[in-house]
A and B are shown apart, each in its own frame.
Chain A
């Protein structure tokens, strides 16, 4: 009988083994479905996974898609390690995009090096303010941050809607719910000639490294981790749970807000009613795929971003319904999450010894 046996020692290549197995299983399942649909699996997979990435434009767009996932994923991986359940990163992203975008609109027409930093700061502060509400309620009233941050996500989306339908809409836009296009001084610089890959991706990489450093070296990382694992012991050791909650949520709010303003200034270029296709929720998956290692968030974010791009390519060049690409995505995640068991266990034939 097939069974799992704990590994005596977990090595780094076991992690890669798990990922390879998951990708292999996904490719096999998707290929099988392609065969059922009468498609050639090899060329079809090539069309949806390889070809979209085989140009400078493709790489650039891939990076643009992954950037918010990585930035938020890093922040959430720190917070989740501390046992602070910020489920509302999506709302913090939306508010960050809104406040950052509002700053950009307020500075409309003004050029100068200081414009973009102010805009980004506006987004960061907006996200922090939004995240400080669940933090305050948690610390002062012991109200669950899960519920408060989630509910505030819906409020944030409606708030953005009010603003772009009213005060922030384009004065020359026939009263449609969109702001005017941001001016160049408020746009994030591009990394490539083609596509929208922008310097936000550099931020993402920096945060991933910084996050790793916090986890590994810094006192803060340690206290947050202890606080998450054993709150009572942490308090005994002099770490304040309240501090941990504040820090975790403020980091989450700051980076989610930054991700929001980066989307607005880097990818979209104006405020619209929908600035995020659920990046804040998808980033939760990314954080856990990376098993809460900030550095691992980078490949995890790139992989998840690729799954969206492949889904679009599948609809476009294979005529596969959008719903089926969603199913593929679910399967990929199931395999990745399930195969993680191979990190700590190995497969053995036969009964227990």
Chain B
């Protein structure tokens, strides 16, 4: 395998992983606030449609991303009202949100069959992108790839280094104690859900803006579920979401390349590899007893003001 091919593979891995990074971080911020939202797939697909519609009308990338984030946040708001205000069961509500989101996106997206948006231009970082092999692999991407890495770092910083992050974690770990300290548990969770929805929306939009600039119903093809699994894999830590997404993306891309190189194994066995690799990696990490691998203590529990 020559160096150019390796560079191209790394480039493809980053592109394939980026939607998972955004969606995974979107799930993570909600879960750190104690909210389990299984509706990520639905949030992604409405983001994918909204971003695409705006891009198709010739608007700049930034506006498409804002639209995707807005659509994701708006759909997430339905979830927030149901779960936080009406105390609906979050697991079932999340699944219903997925159904609803897929339906809404399909309904309004049907008219875009056959439309192609112009692809997003890469932003090659000066100097760095001139490094042989790695330059093209790592530093000649569209802005959203850099954005996803930046978002992971910012989220890490927010959660661990800021007062806001401390409050958010407190709400997720022990909502009664957080309430007793005077924090608005419901308010924090509303914010986290909407922010998370926005991130998942951008994750979906990455598909329709960069990876395959078109919209077809159901095109998220289960990525929302993988994103949810990655949060568990990452033990609820932002930088590990990045790592998990790249691991999953690597195995996906490498199995495709191994086929093109002529490996003689039934394709379905190869297609299982990303899922198996994730399980194996999780088992190894968990078996080593790496500290802090447990979920936020209040995850998925309904908060009621004691009365």
Q: Assess A/B contact in the complex (Cβ within 8 A).
A: yes
In the bound complex, do residue A162 and residue B268 qualify as a contact, i.e. CB atoms below 8 Å apart?
A: yes
Instruction: Name the B residues within 8 Å of A141 (CB-CB).
Output: 283, 286-287
A255 CB within 8 Å of chain B = no
Q: How many residues of B contact A (CB 8 A)?
A: 45
Q: Which chain A residues numbered 114 to 149 have a C-beta less than 8 Å away from chain B?
A: 137, 140-144, 146-148
Assuming the contacts A284-B95, A288-B91, A329-B99, asked whether A338 and B82 have C-beta atoms less than 8 A apart, the reply is: yes
Taken together as a complex, chains A and B put the C-alpha atoms of A289 and B88 apart, in Å, by 10
Q: Which chain A residues numbered 69 to 88 have a C-beta less than 8 Å away from chain B?
A: 80
Instruction: Name the A residues within 8 Å of B101 (CB-CB).
Output: 330
**Chain B residue with the shortest CB-CB distance to A339:** B86
In the bound complex, do residue B95 and residue A281 qualify as a contact, i.e. CB atoms below 8 Å apart?
A: yes
Taken together as a complex, chains A and B put the C-alpha atoms of A262 and B217 apart, in Å, by 31
In the bound complex, do residue A151 and residue B276 qualify as a contact, i.e. CB atoms below 8 Å apart?
A: yes
Cβ contacts B266-284/A at 8 Å (1 or 0 each): 1011011001101100110
Q: Which chain A residues numbered 155 to 179 have a C-beta less than 8 Å away from chain B?
A: 155, 158-159, 161-162, 165-166
Instruction: Name the B residues within 8 Å of A147 (CB-CB).
Output: 229, 232-233, 278-279, 282
Taken together as a complex, chains A and B put the C-alpha atoms of A324 and B289 apart, in Å, by 47
Among the listed B78, B97, B99, B275, which residue makes an inter-chain contact with A326, where contact means beta carbons less than 8 Å apart? B99
In the bound complex, do residue B103 and residue A324 qualify as a contact, i.e. CB atoms below 8 Å apart?
A: yes
A334 CB within 8 Å of chain B = yes
Instruction: Name the A residues within 8 Å of B282 (CB-CB).
Output: 137, 143-144, 147-148
Taken together as a complex, chains A and B put the C-alpha atoms of A291 and B269 apart, in Å, by 38
In the bound complex, do residue B100 and residue A326 qualify as a contact, i.e. CB atoms below 8 Å apart?
A: yes
Taken together as a complex, chains A and B put the C-alpha atoms of A166 and B267 apart, in Å, by 12
Instruction: Name the A residues within 8 Å of B217 (CB-CB).
Output: 323
**Chain A residue with the shortest CB-CB distance to B266:** A162
Assuming the contacts A147-B232, A162-B269, A338-B82, asked whether A155 and B275 have C-beta atoms less than 8 A apart, the reply is: yes
Q: How many residues of A contact B (CB 8 A)?
A: 49
Minimum distance in angstroms from B103 CB to a CB of chain A: 3
Assuming the contacts A6-B307, A147-B279, asked whether A323 and B232 have C-beta atoms less than 8 A apart, the reply is: no
Instruction: Name the A residues within 8 Å of B95 (CB-CB).
Output: 281-282, 284-285, 333
Taken together as a complex, chains A and B put the C-alpha atoms of A322 and B104 apart, in Å, by 11
Q: Which chain B residues numbered 257 to 307 have a C-beta less than 8 Å away from chain A?
A: 266, 268-269, 271-272, 275-276, 278-279, 282-283, 286-287, 289, 293, 295, 307
Give the interface centre of A6, A141, A144, A289 by most chain B CB atoms within 10 Å.
A144
Minimum distance in angstroms from B248 CB to a CB of chain A: 10
Assuming the contacts A150-B225, A337-B89, A341-B86, asked whether A285 and B286 have C-beta atoms less than 8 A apart, the reply is: no
Instruction: Name the A residues within 8 Å of B266 (CB-CB).
Output: 162, 165-166
B181 CB within 8 Å of chain A = no
Assuming the contacts A143-B286, A144-B232, A151-B276, asked whether A327 and B107 have C-beta atoms less than 8 A apart, the reply is: yes
Instruction: Name the B residues within 8 Å of A6 (CB-CB).
Output: 307
A299 CB within 8 Å of chain B = no
B106 CB within 8 Å of chain A = yes
Q: Which chain A residues numbered 322 to 353 have a C-beta less than 8 Å away from chain B?
A: 322-331, 333-334, 337-341, 344
Taken together as a complex, chains A and B put the C-alpha atoms of A6 and B305 apart, in Å, by 11
In the bound complex, do residue A337 and residue B88 qualify as a contact, i.e. CB atoms below 8 Å apart?
A: yes
Cβ contacts A278-297/B at 8 Å (1 or 0 each): 00011011011101000000
In the bound complex, do residue B92 and residue A285 qualify as a contact, i.e. CB atoms below 8 Å apart?
A: yes
In the bound complex, do residue B229 and residue A150 qualify as a contact, i.e. CB atoms below 8 Å apart?
A: yes
B87 CB within 8 Å of chain A = yes
Assuming the contacts A165-B268, A330-B96, asked whether A143 and B103 have C-beta atoms less than 8 A apart, the reply is: no
B148 CB within 8 Å of chain A = no
Among the listed A151, A165, A285, A322, which residue makes an inter-chain contact with B96, where contact means beta carbons less than 8 Å apart? A285
A109 CB within 8 Å of chain B = no
Among the listed B86, B99, B225, which residue makes an inter-chain contact with A333, where contact means beta carbons less than 8 Å apart? B99
A152 CB within 8 Å of chain B = yes
B110 CB within 8 Å of chain A = yes
B43 CB within 8 Å of chain A = no
In the bound complex, do residue B232 and residue A341 qualify as a contact, i.e. CB atoms below 8 Å apart?
A: no
Cβ contacts B221-237/A at 8 Å (1 or 0 each): 01001001100110000
Cβ contacts A57-72/B at 8 Å (1 or 0 each): 0000000000000000
Instruction: Name the B residues within 8 Å of A80 (CB-CB).
Output: 91
Taken together as a complex, chains A and B put the C-alpha atoms of A148 and B232 apart, in Å, by 10
Taken together as a complex, chains A and B put the C-alpha atoms of A285 and B271 apart, in Å, by 28
Taken together as a complex, chains A and B put the C-alpha atoms of A117 and B221 apart, in Å, by 37
Minimum distance in angstroms from B38 CB to a CB of chain A: 8
In the bound complex, do residue B100 and residue A327 qualify as a contact, i.e. CB atoms below 8 Å apart?
A: yes
Taken together as a complex, chains A and B put the C-alpha atoms of A339 and B269 apart, in Å, by 45
Assuming the contacts A144-B232, A148-B282, A151-B229, asked whether A338 and B275 have C-beta atoms less than 8 A apart, the reply is: no
Taken together as a complex, chains A and B put the C-alpha atoms of A154 and B229 apart, in Å, by 12
In the bound complex, do residue A334 and residue B232 qualify as a contact, i.e. CB atoms below 8 Å apart?
A: no
**Chain A residue with the shortest CB-CB distance to B97:** A330
Minimum distance in angstroms from A150 CB to a CB of chain B: 5
**Chain B residue with the shortest CB-CB distance to A91:** B275
In the bound complex, do residue A337 and residue B93 qualify as a contact, i.e. CB atoms below 8 Å apart?
A: yes
Taken together as a complex, chains A and B put the C-alpha atoms of A151 and B244 apart, in Å, by 14
Minimum distance in angstroms from B19 CB to a CB of chain A: 17
B102 CB within 8 Å of chain A = yes
A24 CB within 8 Å of chain B = no
Assuming the contacts A161-B268, A288-B89, asked whether A333 and B276 have C-beta atoms less than 8 A apart, the reply is: no
6 smallest CB-CB distances across A and B, nearest first, come from A330-B100, A326-B103, A288-B92, A323-B106, A333-B96, A337-B88
Given A324-B103, A327-B107, A330-B96, 9 extra CB contacts under 8 A:
A137-B283, A143-B286, A147-B229, A151-B275, A152-B279, A282-B95, A291-B89, A326-B99, A333-B96
What residues of chain B have their CB less than 8 Å away from a CB belonging to chain A?
78, 82, 86-89, 91-93, 95-97, 99-104, 106-107, 110, 217, 222, 225, 228-229, 232-233, 266, 268-269, 271-272, 275-276, 278-279, 282-283, 286-287, 289, 293, 295, 307
